[in-house]
Amino acid sequence: MSKPLRADAQRNREALIAAAREIFAAEGTQVPFEDVARRAGVGAGTLYRHFPSREALVAAVFHAEVSALRDRVTHLAATLPADRALSTFLHEMVDHMYAQRGLGRTFLAVAEHDSDAFTDDGAALERAVAALLRQGAEAGVLRADVSAGTVMLALHGISTASVRSERREESDGVVRLIVDGLRSV
């Protein structure tokens, strides 16, 4: 286990991830590495110290995105009935996917070359969704026979569609179908 970063090093790391997220969303990953450092307000050496490769930086951006989504699932599960929490989360995911289409393209491109690149983070999000589904099943508002993997696969389909089409309204329709199909009768 590595020791915690000093406060200034942590700020630099966070600034680099935020800058990379903006650049990747707008331009993809094939921008000069130095552009990320410049946008973050740090030197290239600082960038390379934190992220020795482009892949490491993309993975850090993905990790930050998934961590925020996982935290959102957890928050919704704690504050809303499970069926409403699931519906809210899925609709917010669709909003996020369409608002961050450039970032989605970046992640899909990386995943096409390295299918295991985001496995751990994806699994963490799936576990949070599984906990929400269990909560709903225990409360009697969601079916117990549908796995989180099924829900995540549907989200993956919407995500893939979101970066390749303008079918935003249809994506909301898919979410309504998923949620209606998951409600216990």
| Coil vs helix vs strand at 183 | strand
Residues 72 and 155 in one domain: yes
Residues 70 and 28 in one domain: no
In whole angstroms, what is the distance from residue 38 CA to residue 56 CA?
18
Residues 65 and 130 in one domain: yes
Provide, rounded to the nearest whole percent, the portion of the chain with pLDDT above 90: 41
Residues 176 and 120 in one domain: yes
pLDDT of 182 strictly over 60: yes
Q: What is the mean pLDDT of the chain?
A: 85
Q: How confident is the model at residue 117 (pLDDT cuts 50, 70, 90)?
A: low
Residues 129 and 177 in one domain: yes
Domain assignment of residue 33, given as a range: 1-52
Q: Are 104 and 97 in contact (CB under 8 A)?
A: yes
| Residues in Cβ contact with 148 at an 8 Å cutoff, skipping those fewer than 6 apart | 126, 127, 129, 130, 133
Report the range of poorest mean pLDDT among 55-64, 111-120, 174-183: 111-120
In whole angstroms, what is the distance from residue 98 CA to residue 172 CA?
11
pLDDT computed for residue 157 by the predictor? 82
Residues 102 and 148 in one domain: yes
Q: How many residues in total does the chain contain? A: 185
Mean pLDDT of 156-176: 79
Tens-digit pLDDT profile for residues 80-112: 999 999 999 999 888 887 777 666 666 666 666
Residues 35 and 59 in one domain: no
Residues 131 and 63 in one domain: yes
Residues 94 and 148 in one domain: yes
pTM: 0.81
Structural domains in the chain (count): 2
Tens-digit pLDDT profile for residues 61-72: 888 888 888 999
